[in-house]
Amino acid sequence: MSSSVVRPAAPDDGTTPAHLPARYRAISTHLAIAPRVSVVIPAMNEAENLPYVFKSLPEWIHEVVLVDGDSTDDTVEVARVLRPDVVVVRQRGKGKGDALITGFQASSGDIIVMVDADGSADGQEIVSYVSALVSGADFAKGSRFANGGGTDDMTPVRKLGNWALCTAVNAKFGARYTDLCYGYNAFWRHCLDEIDLDCTGFEVETLMNIRVVKAGLKVQEIPSHEYLRIHGASNLRAVRDGLRVLKVILKERSNRRSPRVRAVRGAGA
Ligand SMILES: Nc1nc2c(ncn2[C@@H]2O[C@H](COP(=O)(O)OP(=O)(O)OP(=O)(O)O)[C@@H](O)[C@H]2O)c(=O)[nH]1
Ligand SMILES: [Mg+2]
């Protein structure tokens, strides 16, 4: 049977195709989206890394929100030179968790992507996160240990710690995660109302991963590659921060909400 459907030709450049309303942004020749994407970047003394981070961000994002943690180098100045439209906010308290919560509140997009400022995340992966969200996931959770992911940055001890904590979260909360303490994630803004973040430090990703499960949100893991920090030293202290993560797991366990299990493809619960 012949079809009379006339299919629009795929556009061959990055502009909005003529047959789409102007609010759609072309992401590739095969994908256009209406939602606005905010990239939230916590940064503390990352001036030397920002050129690499900003360069890897796709041009179709709506805004970049940089949350400065009282940097003593030129982090803010460099960000403004690289991207004059950057939204710079100074965090109120201390710690990465506090910075991210501040940045989420300051952002205006429908989708929020969390990206570290140390050059370990490739901004070109954002399309994978956004694709998962526009096709039905509530929360797109990066994973270095899903097929296709990887890490150049984790020591064997940190891998072991992350695995043990991830196993505990899976057992206690009925998730099927392959990674836990990873900073590259994306989600629809409505998730913030459901997970009600209240933390300050590096335990923030764990808290998010637990609360999205408890809230019954659709989680899809996105394979992601973590590169080495380019310049500077890590702010993470494995034992101190590992214990903070463990504390969050125990606290969330004793403070259970009834989970509604709705898995999308891959991990999540
Ligand atoms: N604003 C702000 N940013 C922070 C703070 N602590 C860490 N960051 C940023 O959070 C991101 C992740 O911190 P890192 O020090 O790279 O820690 P990590 O990625 O968990 O650990 P490594 O794998 O060792 O790099 C980086 O962009 C830091 O600059 C903070 O207190 N305030
Ligand atoms: Mg890092």
DSSP class of 140: E
Q: Quick count: other Cβ atoms within 10 Å of Cβ 222?
A: 25
pLDDT recorded at residue 15: 57
Q: Of all atoms in ligand 1, which is nearest to the CA of residue 234? A: 15
Q: How far apart are CA 42 and CA 69, in angstroms?
A: 7
Q: How far apart are CA 204 and CA 252, in angstroms?
A: 13
Q: Which residues line ion ligand 2, judged by CB < 5 Å?
A: 118, 120, 229
| Structure token digits, residue 233 | 């030293």
Q: Of all atoms in ligand 1, which is nearest to the CA of residue 69? A: 1
Regions of the chain where pLDDT drops below 50: 1-13, 258-269
**Nearest CA owner, ligand 1 atom 20:** 236
Q: Give the SS3 label for residue 24.
A: coil
pLDDT recorded at residue 54: 98
pLDDT recorded at residue 29: 85
Q: Give the SS3 label for residue 197.
A: coil
Distances (CA, A) of 230 to 53, 160, 234, 237, 242: 10, 23, 10, 18, 23
Dmax (CA) of the chain: 69
The tens digit of pLDDT for each residue in 136-167 reads 999 999 999 999 999 998 999 999 999 999 99
State pTM to two decimals.
0.89
- Answer yes or no: are the C-beta atoms of 121 and 53 closer than 8 Å: yes
pLDDT recorded at residue 119: 97
Q: Which ligand is nearest to the CA of 44?
A: 1
Q: Who lines ligand 1 at CB under 6 A? A: 42-44, 46, 67-69, 91, 94-96, 99, 116-118, 120, 153, 183, 202, 229, 234-236
In the reported structure, the alpha carbon of residue 22 is separated from the centroid of ligand 2 by a whole-number distance in angstroms of 37
| Structure token digits, residue 208 | 């998010």
Q: Of all atoms in ligand 1, which is nearest to the CA of residue 91? A: 1
